[in-house]
Amino acid sequence: MSEHIKEIDDQGFNHDVLQSDKPVLVDFWAPWCGPCKALGPLVEALSIQYNDQLDFTKFNIDDNPITPGKYGIKAIPTIAIFKDGRPMEMITGLTSRGKLEKAIKGAIEGAPAKQPFIVR
């Protein structure tokens, strides 16, 4: 894993994501997930490019089931971008660099959340 991506868990989610001063990209994944593995190099490349503007994290859903349930994550990979303690956008499934960059730039530039999110 890249030095620009931090592994987080249920216990650290509040501090590392919700209380972050910068927008945070959370890669919800599992070790057995083929599409998650395929998305990994793209997230790593983006973490190098946008490291000064966004924090990048990986969240193993197998080891930490509480947070994914709270945010309604039912499939992986799911990329969620949080800003000011709120989810701004969630992208589920293997996606393109362009779509991820658009979401990242939106969070950096202060775009409104793409859809309403229910926190349980």
- Per-residue pLDDT tens digits for 29-83: 999 999 999 999 999 999 999 999 999 999 999 999 999 999 999 999 999 999 9
User: pLDDT tens digits for 72-117?
Assistant: 999 999 999 999 999 999 999 999 999 999 999 999 888 776 655 5
Give a yes or no: residue 115 inside a domain: no
Closest CA to 104 of 84, 82, 78: 82
The residue range of the domain holding 55 is 5-108
Whether 117 is covered by a domain: the verdict is: no
| Residue 119 resides in a domain | no
Of 33, 81, 90, 104, which one is the catalytic site residue?
33
What is the domain-level CATH number for residue 17? 3.40.30.10
The model's pTM is 0.91
Q: Is 36 among the domain residues? A: yes
Query: Residue 73 falls within a domain, yes or no?
Result: yes
The Cα-based distances of 12 to 9, 46, 81, 105 in angstroms read 5, 23, 16, 25
* 36 a catalytic residue: yes
**Would residue 48 show up in a list of annotated catalytic residues for this protein?**
no
Q: Which two tokens stand for residue 9?
A: 């868990």
> How many domains are contained in the chain?
1
Which of 5, 24, 26, 36 is catalytic? The answer is 36
